[in-house]
Amino acid sequence: MRRHLNPRYKQLLQLLSDGRFHSGTELSGIMETSRTTIAKYVRQIQGLGLDVYVVKGKGYALPNTIQLLDQDLIRRETGDIPLHFFDMIDSTNSYMMSYLDRFSPGSCVLAETQTMGVGRGSTSWISPLGCQVIMSMYWRISPAAITGLSLAMGIATIRALRKLGVPDVGLKWPNDVCSGPRKLAGILVESRSTPDDAFHVVVGTGLNVVPTRTLRTAEIGAVSLDELTGGKVSRNQTVIALIREYRSMLANFEQSGIESLQEEWNSLDLHLGCRIRLINKISGDTIIEGTERGIDHRGCIVIETESGRREAFSVGDVSLRF
């Protein structure tokens, strides 16, 4: 697929990124093209999932300010590990998994939008242009150390957000980042074994920055950074913080493991002590109902039934409901 926007579309996005109305006459003058062409560019941008208001007599506006990725800033703030930027991509995780031999530990792929993003359980992840953090990071890890890694990356995400001053965020097992019942970010960890008895690991993250109609339609209960912080935390700041925390977590996880993070994970658990049920994601059948008691030393979710019996369940084709 085409991986970079027409430079003219990108120029128009920059002009509209302040969230104010701009007339067709103003835009056509700046871009030295016709108003008809401006209207065509707007339709193309809308086709990438981004809301654009079109109001007769006022012109064009985005419903919120957006910030495109600042490649120079992100590179400067995150060091020498390779970063790969795309305007459009089918999936950052799929791209990395397809070209594993091209990456060194800590390498990242970042995109303005992805068209075929996948969440846990093969659910779709909607990614309107410029409105989310869309990032995948590569690492190598031993098979013995991979248990609980997805839960650890949820903790790393919370650490990054708290350093940015994002309030009231926690975890829904195994690694959804939420504010109360509303989902802010999802994490997908994929791995592939290597001949030298290690795992290639790709950690993919989609984090909502700007509220959009597409997002609200796609997932009831989603929330964005802008809504939580009043727009005080920028998209680029968030990318930089995530890259730093992810590299730190991955560098230390092989030695420490999920057991060392059990207490921290449970302190972030939004459903600790709550009545929940686990369902089979394939059949939809309820597996167990009871009180959620956090994770054990392996990262398994512990459920206490009414009889007082406790059972632990690993990440797989199960999903938590409340």
CA–CA distances in Å: residue 170 to residues 132, 166, 180, 206, 235 = 19, 11, 8, 16, 19
Residues 6+ apart with CB under 8 A from 193: 143, 199, 200
Cα–Cα dist 242/133, whole Å? 9
Cα–Cα dist 94/103, whole Å? 13
Strand order from edge to edge, sheet including 301-304: 310-313, 301-304, 286-295, 275-280, 318-321
Cα–Cα dist 8/101, whole Å? 34
Cα–Cα dist 285/203, whole Å? 29
Neighbours of 186 (CB within 10 A): 25
The angle, 0 to 180 degrees and rounded to 10, between the axes of the packed helices 235-256 and 149-163 is: 140
Q: Are 258 and 149 in contact (CB under 8 A)?
A: yes
Q: Are 268 and 179 in contact (CB under 8 A)?
A: no
Question: Which residue bears the tokens 């060091």?
Answer: 79
Direct distance between the N- and C-terminal alpha carbons of the chain, in angstroms, rounded to an integer: 40
Neighbours of 48 (CB within 10 A): 19
Cα–Cα dist 96/91, whole Å? 9
The residues annotated as belonging to the active site are 120, 183, 321
